[in-house]
């Protein structure tokens, strides 16, 4: 019984370090800014409070035609059509934690 109690206490102490909390991962950008047809633009997305390095991807939707995002979270390109584009981006940290945030990209 003593061994079980000691192991339980040890697990409670070690668990937060062995199994990181994914609840703190966050994407800092609240929006994607203004974009204009025919004008090159770029925006670097930033994550915080997770375990670096971070990997970025589009989980659903799409950016405006002519605009892409790389795995480092850099959104760049020259939009070719005006409109509102709905896109969800996902960030994954080195511990395997993920967070998805959706945005409207407005192109004038």
98-107 and 83-92: which strand pairing? antiparallel
pLDDT at 3 over 70: no
Chain centre distance of CA 104: 15
- pLDDT value of residue 66: 98
- pLDDT value of residue 4: 42
- pLDDT value of residue 21: 73
- pLDDT value of residue 2: 66
**What's the pTM value of the predicted model, to 2 decimals?**
0.81
Whether residue 93 is contained in a domain is answered as: yes
**18: phi > 0 → left, psi -120 to 50 → alpha, else beta; which?**
alpha
**Count of domains for the chain:** 1
What is the gyration radius of the CA atoms in the chain, in angstroms? 20
Q: What is the CATH number of the domain that holds 42?
A: 2.60.40.10
- Residue 79: both structure tokens together: 């939009």
Overall average pLDDT of the 73-86 stretch: 98
Q: Write the pLDDT tens digit of every residue in 58-70.
A: 999 999 999 999 9
Domain that holds residue 35: 21-107
CB atoms within 10 A of CB 100: 14
Whether residue 4 is contained in a domain is answered as: no
- pLDDT value of residue 43: 98
Whether residue 8 is contained in a domain is answered as: no
Whether residue 9 is contained in a domain is answered as: no
Whether residue 37 is contained in a domain is answered as: yes
Q: Write the pLDDT tens digit of every residue in 7-43.
A: 445 444 544 444 557 999 999 999 999 999 999 999 9
């Amino acid at each position: 019984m003593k061994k079980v109690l000691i192991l339980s206490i040890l697990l409670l102490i070690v668990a937060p370090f062995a199994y990181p909390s994914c609840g703190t991962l966050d994407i800092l950008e609240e929006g994607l800014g203004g974009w204009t047809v025919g004008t090159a633009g770029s925006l670097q997305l930033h994550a915080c409070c997770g375990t670096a390095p971070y990997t970025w991807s589009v989980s659903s939707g799409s950016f405006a035609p002519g605009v892409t995002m790389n795995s480092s979270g850099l959104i760049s390109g020259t939009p070719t059509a005006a409109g509102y584009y709905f896109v969800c981006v996902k960030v994954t940290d080195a511990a395997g934690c993920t967070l998805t945030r959706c945005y409207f990209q407005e192109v004038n």
